[in-house]
Amino acid sequence: MNLSSSLTFDSSYSLKWAHTRPFHYRHHRPPNVVVCSSSLATEPAPSRGLSRIESLSQVSGVLGSQWGDEGKGKLVDILAQHFDIVARCQGGANAGHTIYNAEGKKFALHLVPSGILNEDTLCVIGNGVVVHLPSLFKEIDGLETNGVGCKGRILVSDRAHLLFDFHQEVDGLRESELAKSFIGTTKRGIGPCYSSKVIRNGIRVGDLRHMDTFPRKLDILLSEAALRFKDFKYSPNMLSEEVERYKRFAERLEPYIADTVHFMNESISEKKKILVEGGQATMLDIDFGTYPFVTSSSPSAGGICTGLGIAPRVVGDLVGVVKAYTSRVGSGPFPTEILGQGGDILRFAGQEFGTTTGRPRRCGWLDIVALKFSCQVNGFSSLNLTKLDVLSDLPEIQLGVAYKQIDGTPVKSFPGDLRLLEQLKVEYEVLPGWKSDISSIRNYSDLPKAARRYVERIEELVGLPVHYIGVGPGRDALIYK
């Protein structure tokens, strides 16, 4: 099916610029942009990849640059083989990272950092993460059942906040209240837990070491939830049962609890290599995303320092992960969204269904305006372009390169005004597709010319090099550019 022809009827966004201003590659190279050199294409892929990875800073990070689900876990899993520590700095079990081991076995991780599959890597769950212990233990049990050892390899910050089952129930009640204006959360209790943290009545992992005061603190949380939501039923029995449950959890968690702020800074002074794994993505950032349709933490670069307790000056290379198209889960503005059949084609080709919820993701063309904004906020040193293979069957591919108001006035950056964001029109460039399977290609020079043109045009528009290109879900399905 011709995706572009279906767009004419199915998309509510204007595509007229895409057809009235055709893109001619040779004549549209803007001055003063960083274009990734093709000289590396002559090197063997393994040595090229190793040189890329070894050149990364002592403290590096992998962050999402869109609305999440970009495929961060795979790159973290690959890079982790060359790092001593992989750390999560924010979010909770709403962050779903799908990775594959060397045998091709699939693992869906939510709280445990994606470096866990590499047996020499230590995984840190930092103070900025909200931790649902039943979910964490379920993950650990699943990993160990499949031969992945976790004992002595996971540290949980004593400053991290505990996310309780009631937070999840409250999350659902809150969404029900919002009716048609619902946020579209994963209902994993993330927002309510961060709310408890911010209003200073949350319970931290370290509080599990003081079970004499734990019941009183939990009673305050549960009582407040009952006062706020009439459908939340709270009784003394609920409190006593939860306290007994958490006594058992406390005993099991004790070997994992650590002062991770001290550990991280000691590791930095010992020259250990640290990789930070971001959850969610910049366009879901509580400050910089499409508020209020965002997550409740800071998945952008600033969250690394506040979520791990490390100084900004030690953070080096940050790799922005960007899908070759765009997707988002839940509600909120999505300028380059493709409605109807066109979106369905991308959704099923890319298997765009949530790791955490299974919900179908909304799909659209790559949004360069949003990507440039994300690059500005984070200061990425390079990009990882994922799922390029998903576009392989399309006769032509579009890039959303500019925003304009209804009256034609240019919008210079990604706006914080949701009304403007919902009403603006997107200007597109059209590039030819390559109409061939690229999933087995491992050298950049072997990609079809049209695929290379697409990658290089993204580099030109954003002003950053694409160093990693995903062409399939497997660990080896990666091209180093």
Q: What are phi and psi of 369, to 5 degrees?
A: -60, -45
- pLDDT at residue 180, as a whole number: 56
Phi-psi region at 117: left, alpha or beta (left = phi > 0; alpha = psi -120 to 50) = alpha
Whether 446 is covered by a domain: the verdict is: yes
Whether 64 is covered by a domain: the verdict is: no
Chain segment 331-362, per-residue pLDDT in tens: 899 999 999 888 888 998 888 887 667 788 99
- pLDDT at residue 277, as a whole number: 96
Whether 400 is covered by a domain: the verdict is: yes
- pLDDT at residue 94, as a whole number: 74
Active-site residue identified among 97, 187, 273, 372: 97
Asked whether residue 440 falls in the same domain as residue 335, the answer is yes
Chain segment 210-227, per-residue pLDDT in tens: 999 999 999 999 988 888
pLDDT at 33 over 80: no
Tokens of residue 169, six digits: 């129930």
Q: Which of 225, 257, 289 marks a domain boundary?
A: 257
Least confident of 23-27, 54-58, 108-112: 23-27
Whether 70 is covered by a domain: the verdict is: no
Asked whether residue 333 falls in the same domain as residue 252, the answer is no
Give CA separation, 255 vs 156, 157, 247, in Å.
Answer: 9, 12, 14
pTM as predicted: 0.87
- pLDDT at residue 264, as a whole number: 98
Total domain count for the chain? 2
Q: Can you say how many angstroms the Cα of residue 155 is from the centroid of all Cα atoms in its chain?
A: 21
Instruction: Tell me if 392 sits within 8 A of 325, measured CB to CB.
Output: no
Instruction: Determine whether 271 is an active site residue.
Output: no
Asked whether residue 219 falls in the same domain as residue 332, the answer is no
- pLDDT at residue 29, as a whole number: 34
Least confident of 31-45, 178-192, 273-287, 465-479: 31-45
Chain segment 264-318, per-residue pLDDT in tens: 999 999 999 999 999 999 999 999 999 999 999 999 999 999 999 999 999 999 9
Domain of residue 19, residue span:
1-56+321-481
Asked whether residue 347 falls in the same domain as residue 441, the answer is yes
Question: For the chain, what percent of residues have pLDDT higher than 90?
Answer: 70
Q: At what angle do helices 236-253 and 214-228 cross, to 10 degrees?
A: 130
State the Cα–Cα distance between residues 216 and 343, nearest whole angstrom: 50
Chain segment 144-157, per-residue pLDDT in tens: 999 999 999 999 99
Q: Residue 472, annotated ligand binder?
A: yes
* Arithmetic mean of pLDDT over the chain: 87
Whether 128 is covered by a domain: the verdict is: no
| CATH code for the domain of 476 | 3.90.170.10
Q: Residue 387, annotated ligand binder?
A: yes
Asked whether residue 191 falls in the same domain as residue 44, the answer is no
Q: Determine the Cα angle at 112 with ends 358 and 189, to 5°.
A: 55
| CATH code for the domain of 218 | 1.10.300.10
Asked whether residue 471 falls in the same domain as residue 344, the answer is yes
Give all strands of the β-sheet with 274-277 in edge-to-edge order.
Answer: 257-258, 154-157, 122-125, 85-88, 274-277, 59-64, 318-323, 382-386, 466-470, 478-480
Whether 424 is covered by a domain: the verdict is: yes
Q: Residue 49, annotated ligand binder?
A: no
Q: Give the confidence band of 2 by pLDDT, cuts at 50, 70, 90.
A: very low
Q: Residue 425, annotated ligand binder?
A: no
Whether 411 is covered by a domain: the verdict is: yes
Instruction: Tell me if 55 sits within 8 A of 244, measured CB to CB.
Output: no
State the Cα–Cα distance between residues 137 and 97, nearest whole angstrom: 17
Q: Residue 97, annotated ligand binder?
A: yes
Whether 188 is covered by a domain: the verdict is: yes
Instruction: Determine whether 259 is an active site residue.
Output: no
Q: Residue 470, annotated ligand binder?
A: yes
State the Cα–Cα distance between residues 61 and 276, nearest whole angstrom: 4
Give CA separation, 236 vs 28, 193, 215, 239, 429, in Å.
Answer: 69, 21, 11, 5, 62
Asked whether residue 337 falls in the same domain as residue 434, the answer is yes
- pLDDT at residue 6, as a whole number: 40
Q: Which of 231, 257, 283 marks a domain boundary?
A: 257
Among 158, 119, 134, smallest CA distance to 256 is for: 158
State the Cα–Cα distance between residues 76 and 111, nearest whole angstrom: 14
- pLDDT at residue 15, as a whole number: 36
Asked whether residue 349 falls in the same domain as residue 250, the answer is no
Active-site residue identified among 69, 171, 285, 317: 69
Instruction: Determine whether 435 is an active site residue.
Output: no
Q: Can you say how many angstroms the Cα of residue 105 is from the centroid of all Cα atoms in its chain?
A: 21
Asked whether residue 222 falls in the same domain as residue 368, the answer is no
Q: Give the confidence band of 200 by pLDDT, cuts at 50, 70, 90.
A: very high
Least confident of 19-33, 383-397, 423-437: 19-33
Asked whether residue 332 falls in the same domain as residue 451, the answer is yes
Q: Residue 356, annotated ligand binder?
A: yes
* Length reported for the chain: 481
Q: Which of 242, 257, 272 marks a domain boundary?
A: 257
Asked whether residue 253 falls in the same domain as residue 348, the answer is no
Mean pLDDT confidence for 158-175: 88
Asked whether residue 39 falls in the same domain as residue 182, the answer is no
- pLDDT at residue 269, as a whole number: 98
**Four-CA torsion 229, 232, 233, 239, nearest 10 degrees:** -100
Instruction: Tell me if 331 sits within 8 A of 289, measured CB to CB.
Output: no
Least confident of 117-131, 165-179, 258-272: 165-179
Active-site residue identified among 161, 167, 197, 467: 197
